[in-house]
Copies of this chain bind each other. A is one copy, B any other.
């Protein structure tokens, strides 16, 4: 299985199994004249599956149903951009003025989508799974257990002065991406296309967070996409992976816009403004330090 068929590129005649197996994969099989993606010949996929469907296929190993693809498409579209105030976008725009290829520009932006900047969706998926499990363990399925579990979870977060990931936004009183995403999930759950349990968990959390507050803490983009990716069966870590694919679009668009501007070596603030300084006053090097 590991040795390709004879071809002009003179594939290896013998086994060397350990070297081939060191790089074994179930994602794709590349032989001379053949590209299989998860078993499907690439020439059959081209023109017949959409880009989001190919994302699902490559990660999950099977093609999505049309309902699954629609939800994935929606979540990917929802996250493409949030403006140059985001450090990932700003870093990519600055990179674009430093003489880099667009691949390096995109990598520079993507690199910043770490635990704090790009990880809230992943963390919210973990919370949704935890809440779902706790509610399932304590309830008779009526849903009352879910609300109680959500109340307890929120109370625990507040005691520890922690923020529940996926809720609240420093900028949007109401995140405009929440409603259309939740409507699509609700519709899919009503049709039996997804289980609906992550949606229920997310709404229970949102409800628990609003109790006793004049100004609620609404679900944000990370929470809404966490619900979708959870409903679709992705593990939490892939929540970040998918967000990276999505935000890469905005990073490219912004990087390209900045590159097209022709500015060189763009710093974070206009050139005639200077960072302030709070370090030591000017001082002379001690004589004894001379080499």
Which listed residue (B74, B93, B215, B245) contacts A47, Cβ 8 A?
B74
5 nearest interchain CB pairs?
A39-B280, A99-B115, A99-B116, A26-B279, A98-B117
Distance (Å) between the CB of A28 and the closest chain B CB? 5
- Asked if A248 and B245 sit within 8 Å, CB to CB, the answer is yes
A179 to B33, CA, bound (A): 12
List CB contacts (< 8 Å) of A17-34 with chain B: 17-34
Write out the residue numbers on chain B whose beta carbons fall within 8 Å of the beta carbon of A31.
274
Distance (Å) between the CB of A90 and the closest chain B CB? 4
A230 CB-CB contact with B under 8 Å:
no
- Asked if A268 and B269 sit within 8 Å, CB to CB, the answer is yes
Which listed residue (B88, B102, B238, B253) contacts A237, Cβ 8 A?
B102
Chain A contributes a number of interface residues (CB within 8 A of B) equal to 151
A8 CB-CB contact with B under 8 Å:
yes
- Asked if A244 and B50 sit within 8 Å, CB to CB, the answer is no
Q: Interface segment, A105-113, A192-200, A203-211? A: A105-113
- Asked if B244 and A252 sit within 8 Å, CB to CB, the answer is yes
Number of copies: 4
Q: Say whether, besides A104-B100, A180-B47, A253-B58, A9 and B114 are in contact (CB < 8 Å).
A: no
- Asked if A104 and B114 sit within 8 Å, CB to CB, the answer is yes
Closest to A242 in B: B252
Q: Say whether, besides A50-B73, A250-B58, A283-B40, A1 and B276 are in contact (CB < 8 Å).
A: yes
A233 CB-CB contact with B under 8 Å:
no
Closest to A2 in B: B276
Write out the residue numbers on chain B whose beta carbons fall within 8 Å of the beta carbon of A268.
23, 84-85, 87, 90, 94, 268-269
- Asked if A87 and B266 sit within 8 Å, CB to CB, the answer is yes
List CB contacts (< 8 Å) of A200-240 with chain B: 215, 237-238, 240
Which listed residue (B51, B248, B255, B274) contacts A11, Cβ 8 A?
B274
A136 CB-CB contact with B under 8 Å:
no
A174 CB-CB contact with B under 8 Å:
yes
Closest to A290 in B: B48
- Asked if A114 and B98 sit within 8 Å, CB to CB, the answer is yes
- Asked if A42 and B176 sit within 8 Å, CB to CB, the answer is yes
